[in-house]
Amino acid sequence: MLSLVVIPARGGSKGVPGKNIKMLNGKPLINYTIEAARSVFKDEYIYVSTDSNEIKEVAEQIGLLVPFIRPKRLATDTASSRDVLLHALDYFISKNEKQPDVIILLQPTSPFRNGLHIREALGIYNDNLDMVVSVKETKTNPYYVLYEEDENGLLNKSKESDAIRRQDVPKVWEINGAIYIINPESIRVKSINEFNNVMKYEMDEISSHDIDTFLDWNVAEEIVKTDAHYKYGK
């Protein structure tokens, strides 16, 4: 299976400034994702898509060639993941003279996703699907803890259920942002949030940890200090 791996890493970050190359346990955050990708794929199929020369330099310090700097139009807050993926896909085709069978999107803000997770998610994928996406079981179950406010300011359950106990409500899955296995034909015609034929790859809570805020960062630092989990499965 010919695979294109895209690691999107913008230079700007409002939640944690410079987070993609901020040091986590003595290593730039993006390196965790690069290492996970390298444990499954050859370097020539791994593209760090960035607008930042600094991020490019950090990636290349560990020997991964960054083939391009992302155009300015794809470096804004309004640029979509689809636009970034299509740019990388077109570049890949121009270099390899054929389309990949699958696109693997790996966000650098998920440092505890590893090569084993990627291989397992790939094992679920087939070309009849739009996507396989990594998830975790959500704690904010809409059948039990989520409410909507009506026009009178009163709270109503987001989804109705006859269950009395929390453990009796249906399981609901939350996309954790770690792994997206995408059909190239599908991303050509629609955005990820418009996909219909999607299957899940379930991950545990630690592996699912995503860094968006300083609180998330502090939790990640505690994980690497106290839990050997993140080292396994490469």
Q: Is residue 37 one of the residues assigned to a domain?
A: yes
Cα separation values, 172 from 121, 167, 168, 176, Å: 19, 12, 12, 13
- The 10s digit of each residue's pLDDT in 212-230 is 999 999 999 999 887 655 5
Indicate the helix (H) or strand (E) that contains 55.
helix 53-61
- How high is the pLDDT of residue 15? 72
Is 233's pLDDT higher than 50? Answer: no
Q: Is residue 119 one of the residues assigned to a domain?
A: yes
Neighbouring residues of 165: CB distance < 8 A, sequence distance ≥ 6 = none
Q: Is residue 208 one of the residues assigned to a domain?
A: yes
- How high is the pLDDT of residue 232? 43
With beta carbons less than 8 A apart as the criterion, state whether 174 and 201 touch.
no
Average pLDDT over residues 35-39: 97
- The 10s digit of each residue's pLDDT in 110-159 is 999 999 999 999 999 999 999 999 999 988 878 777 888 888 998 888 88
For residues 92 and 164, the model is more confident at 92
Q: Is residue 70 one of the residues assigned to a domain?
A: yes
- How high is the pLDDT of residue 231? 56
Q: Is residue 39 one of the residues assigned to a domain?
A: yes
- How high is the pLDDT of residue 228? 57
- How high is the pLDDT of residue 63? 95
Q: Which domain holds residue 44?
A: 3-136+172-231
Average pLDDT over residues 9-30: 89
CATH code for the domain of 66: 3.90.550.10
Q: How many CB atoms lie within 10 A of CB 75?
A: 17
Q: Is residue 164 one of the residues assigned to a domain?
A: no
Q: Is residue 20 one of the residues assigned to a domain?
A: yes
- The 10s digit of each residue's pLDDT in 41-92 is 999 999 999 999 999 999 999 999 999 999 888 877 777 899 999 999 999 9
Is 12's pLDDT higher than 50? Answer: yes
- How high is the pLDDT of residue 72? 85
- The 10s digit of each residue's pLDDT in 187-207 is 999 999 999 999 999 999 999
Q: Is residue 73 one of the residues assigned to a domain?
A: yes
With beta carbons less than 8 A apart as the criterion, state whether 3 and 76 touch.
no
Domain count within the chain? 1
